[in-house]
Amino acid sequence: MFAVHSFATHSSAAAFRPALRRYAPRRPPPIARATWPARSTLASVDDRREATDARLASPASNAPRKLSASNATRAHAHTSPRSSLVATRRPTPVGGRGALQVRAGTISTNDFKVGVNVEVDNAPWKVIEFMHVKPGKGSAFVRSKLKNYLTKSTNEKTFRAGEKLQTADVEKRTMQYTYKDDDQFVFMDMETYEETRVDDDDFSKFLLEGTTCEVLSWNSKVIGVELPINVELEVKMTDPGVKGNTASGGDKPAEVETGAMVTVPLFIQIGEKIVVDTTSGKYVKRAKE
């Protein structure tokens, strides 16, 4: 019985052996090794160079390429003249300094800023003030105050919002104020020592000897002077300040060394130097000692 039982057990195991092999996990296939082309199939450096030279020498490579619609638009944008304000510097003369020239372009009234030069009625004007107005009914507009460089008069003009105006072709030369001759102010180019005389105007209120300014010309004619944005001036006359006053405690008039009147805080004393905004004529801060 023992022999028969052993044979039966052995026979049943042999019968199930194919099923076990069927459900057993298979080994992954071997990874194929990378095969590189033979050395003779690779083009040498000389062969590639000869092929490139032949391709460049062919007539087809020299023919002009046709641009697509998007590329043609971009090429036209790079080659077309700009419509905005462009500042260029003229070639530097022998022994002199190049003058900064603002070429004539266009500017939108939405981009108005104080100090911008525009050309209206064939005359150069400077923007003094402006305000954007959006009424409840009707189109928006820009109310501005302009100063004529030629007549020195100030007029109020109204423009449509977004209206395009011609910018004035103004040339700027960096010069230094040296002295006053009667009613004219004499400026000198510190490199060429060339002198330019300018008639009295609003710029003289905050002008001191030795101040570096921009002398403006339009159509080869001097039309004005552009001062630095901020200048330091000494207070010559004002009411005595009260101890304990702060910048928010009030203000008072003060006369500076150029003779102009500036509104200053109560704590400013005679002999102190202050910083004044030449565009608005307002007090900015105490000057650093």
pLDDT in tens, 19-69: 555 555 566 666 555 555 544 444 555 666 676 676 666 655 555 555 455
Q: With H, G, I as helix, E, B as strand and everything else as coil, classify residue 183.
A: coil
What pLDDT, in 10s, does the model give residues 198-226? Answer: 988 888 899 999 999 999 888 888 988 98
The whole model's pTM is what? Answer: 0.56
Give the model's confidence band at 242: pLDDT under 50 very low, under 70 low, under 90 confident, else very high.
low
> Which tops the pLDDT comparison, 72 or 229?
229
pLDDT attached to residue 6: 45
> Which tops the pLDDT comparison, 3 or 217?
217
Q: 55 Cβ partners below 8 Å, 6+ apart?
A: 61
Residues 28 and 182: their CA atoms lie apart, in Å, by 105
What pLDDT, in 10s, does the model give residues 249-269? Answer: 688 999 999 999 999 999 899
First vs last Cα of the chain: how many Å apart? Answer: 122
Residue 196 in any domain: the answer is: yes
Give residue 214's domain range: 174-226
Give the model's confidence band at 88: pLDDT under 50 very low, under 70 low, under 90 confident, else very high.
very low
pLDDT attached to residue 110: 86
- 137 and 181 both lie in a single domain: no
pLDDT attached to residue 203: 87
Residues 194 and 190: their CA atoms lie apart, in Å, by 8
- 121 and 146 both lie in a single domain: yes
| 8 Å CB contact between 218 and 240 | no
Beta bridge partners of 107: 165
Amino acid at 110: N
Residue 155 in any domain: the answer is: yes
CATH code, domain with 149? 2.30.30.30
What pLDDT, in 10s, does the model give residues 134-192? Answer: 888 888 999 999 988 888 888 899 999 888 988 888 888 999 999 988 888 999 998 89
Residues 64 and 143: their CA atoms lie apart, in Å, by 52
Residue 7 in any domain: the answer is: no
Residue 5 in any domain: the answer is: no
- In DSSP notation, 11-77 reads HHHHHHHHHHHHHSPPPPPPPPPP-PPPGGGSPPHHHHHHHHHHHHHSHHHHSPPPP-HHHHHHHHH
- Alpha helices for 135-288 (secondary structure H): none
Among candidate residues 152, 167, 182, the one where a domain is terminated: 167
Beta bridge partners of 286: 274
CATH code, domain with 186? 2.40.50.140
- 239 and 214 both lie in a single domain: no
The β-bridge relationship of strands 164-167 and 117-120 is antiparallel
pLDDT attached to residue 288: 82
Residues 9 and 104: their CA atoms lie apart, in Å, by 109
> What is the average per-residue pLDDT within 87-104?
47
Residues for the chain: how many in total? 289
pLDDT attached to residue 1: 43
| 8 Å CB contact between 144 and 120 | no
Q: What are the Cα distances from residue 70, in Å, to 65, 78, 81, 82?
A: 14, 13, 19, 19
pLDDT attached to residue 39: 47
- 158 and 190 both lie in a single domain: no
| 8 Å CB contact between 213 and 187 | yes
- 150 and 110 both lie in a single domain: yes
Residue 41 in any domain: the answer is: no
pLDDT attached to residue 101: 52
Residue 33 in any domain: the answer is: no
> Which tops the pLDDT comparison, 284 or 66?
284
Residues 126 and 34: their CA atoms lie apart, in Å, by 76
pLDDT attached to residue 107: 87
* Structural domain count of the chain: 3
3-state secondary structure 187-232: EECCCCCCEEEEECCHHHHHCCCCCEEEEEEECCEEEEEECCCEEE
Residue 256: how many CB atoms within 10 A of its CB?
24
Specify the residue for token string 């462009």. 86
